[in-house]
Chains A and B, each alone.
Chain A
Amino acid sequence: MDQQEVKALKALAVRIRLATVEAIHSIGSGHLGGALSIGDVLAVLYGREMNIRVDDPTWPERDKLVVSKGHAGPGVYGTLAVKGYFPYEELKTLNKNGTRLPSHCDRNKTPGIDVTTGSLGQGTSQACGLALGDRLKGRKDRVFLIVGDGEMDEGQCWEAFSFAAAHKLSNLVVLIDWNKKQLDGMCDDILPMGSFKEKMEAFGFDTVQINGNDVEAIAAALERTRQGGDKPYAIVLDTVKGAGIEEVANTVMNHSMPVNDEKYEKWTGELKKELAELEG
């Protein structure tokens, strides 16, 4: 990947974070930490890896994204707005009465959202069904699944992973957002999971672990998953909850956070500066 493309992906990640803050600020508070930690992977998926048609969001052959940690909806909506799936201004309707942008991802409401999630764990099995179904239908697309590290507490995730390996779903890429935190605090203080890399390998996945807030590393890891084979893929994204906005990243309890006018000005100011440097 040339440096220009890296810069473009970094800029896209900043734009996604700007849009995420825009959406959450409009309603005053929301799941900021977990939306920001996946900003970089969303940038690489939508800016490079996924085969999609913005003007035809339900094209059957498209690559699909399952955001099983559905509370990161605002981050995904930010991405979709930047890509042009719906008007950018619509981000300000997040959670508002009658909106198409509910707090958790909903395939029947938002153009570009492939799967309904919000009850943690459930996206994993749906992703397996999609990957298997698309393969049985002879489609060449791939299914990307973003799972939270806290979400991995759910037994359903591990049932789904066993299924994926049993059915050799090499068109499935599981992206684990290892941001070390869940709702009540640090994952290791609540239900330590040990090494996700070793666990996924033991479950039969072709697994790598990378810096999940580094677009270059993400792009390289995703490129590797294009080769098919007889194993599903897993990428453990070593991330920071709240990544991209220093003050959020440094806040201990940053699962759900208020974004008042003052914070909005400060954080969007920082992000715009970063964007200008990248695109300058």
Chain B
Amino acid sequence: MKIVYNGEMDERQGKAVLGETIPAILESDPDAIYLDADLMSCIGTLKYGQQHKDRAIDCGIAEANMAGVAAGLAMAGFKPIIHSFGIFASRRCFDQIFLSGGYAKNDITVLGSDPGVTAAMNGGTHMPFEDVALYRVIPGSTVLEPSDPTCLISLLKQCVNHPGIKYLRVGRKSMARIYADGSELPIGKATVLRDGTDAVIFAAGIMVHEALQAAASLEKQGISAAVVDCYSIKPLDAEIVIAMAKKTGAAVVAENANRHGGLYSAVLEVLAENCPVPAANVSVEDEFGEVGTQGYLQQRFGLTAEHIEAQVKAVIARK
């Protein structure tokens, strides 16, 4: 793994990465099988799907059925990967994922696209702020949120052979470039992207880029903030969380999700039991989503580098 972040966007969009990686997985593993619910066009897999109808199955607009079918395919010896928008891949089929999947020990990889405010133009009905919380409470589940295309590829490939229910929260648009091509980001680990001494920012997904921007700006003001990429929200890398909290003595968590039940909750659980330090969040404050550009929504819900900066200063003041 090598960090190459310089503030620029990766030229590969999430959609294109999924459109390449899913077929590549299917081609390399005959037991892998991919199911979608009428949204293949949205993640670049439609062409492959139309040419390989036995490997890539369009289930129609029936997410609950798709999840149950995936459980059956798992029993029959397959490794199902299913996709829908994050809202439908979580809320719409939660009971089927929970029981037919998790409880019955039928392993399924779930891709939920358009996390949080990245659902932008599709609006409030399509904006998942709660998917992380829902998937975290399935026993034995794995919840992942890649911060860049390389991280996405690495995690998706691991998911296929990882036990249990795996939820991968994945953007379809541009993301920052954080890791060198080919880097491996192991499930269960976190990456210290930037070291620091005054506070640590734990972030996931699009908030990693915001956190790095915030840390750069804070440095100019004489504040040393560390940044940790918590792409593995569950299992969370408790070792790094504890070490960085102890080292800096103050923590901020930045997530593109509701403050309840997501990464903030996960980090606080570790801190409370091991090394309570002043902590604060940059999250959506218990609200539903709405329509608008991603930039507007990040302002509207307080998910920008400036919001992170303010919270870092606030936690340091509470030390």
In the complex, per-residue mask of B289-317: 1 if CB is within 8 Å of any chain A CB, else 0: 01111001000100000000000000000
Indicate which residue in B46, B64, B88, B290 contacts A155 across the interface (CB closer than 8 Å).
B64
Interface flag for A104 (CB, 8 Å): yes
Contact partner of A183 (CB less than 8 A), chosen from B39, B59, B62, B92, is B39
- A97-B293 in contact (CB<8A): yes
Residues of B within 8 A of A (CB-CB), count: 31
- A184's partner among B46, B65, B290 (CB-CB below 8 A) is B46
A190 touches B58 (CB 8 A): yes
Interchain CB contact (< 8 A) of B62 among A70, A97, A103, A191? A191
Given the complex, which residues of A lie within 8 Å of B49, measured CB to CB? 184
A47 at the interface (CB under 8 A from B): no
B188 contacts the other chain (CB 8 A): no
Minimum CB–CB distance for B57 against chain A, Å: 10
Q: Which residues of B contact A183 (CB under 8 A)?
A: 38-39, 41-42, 61
CA distance A120 to B84 in the complex (A): 13
B186 at the interface (CB under 8 A from A): no
Number of interface residues of A (CB under 8 A): 30
State which of B58, B59, B64, B123 has its C-beta within 8 Å of the C-beta of A118. Answer: B123
Mostly, the A contact residues are loop
Taken together as a complex, chains A and B put the C-alpha atoms of A142 and B300 apart, in Å, by 39
| B267-304 interface bits toward A, Cβ cutoff 8 Å, 1 = contact, 0 = none | 00000000000000000000000111100100010000
Q: A119-B92, A183-B41 are in contact. Are A102 and B60 (CB under 8 A)?
A: no
From A95, A117, A184, B125 is in contact (CB under 8 Å) with: A117
**Chain A residues within an 8 Å CB radius of B58:** 184, 190-191
Are B92 and A151 within 8 A (Cβ)? no
B87 contacts chain A at the CB level, 8 A cutoff = yes
The answer, yes or no, to whether A82 is at the interface (CB within 8 Å) is no
The residues of B that contact A103 with a CB separation of less than 8 Å are: 121-123, 126, 291
* Contacts beyond the supplied A104-B124, A182-B38: 12 A-B pairs with Cβ under 8 Å: A27-B121, A95-B123, A103-B121, A103-B126, A106-B125, A117-B125, A153-B62, A155-B62, A155-B65, A182-B61, A190-B38, A190-B60
Identify the A interface with B (CB < 8 A).
27, 70, 95-99, 102-104, 106, 116-121, 150-151, 153-155, 182-185, 190-191, 253, 255
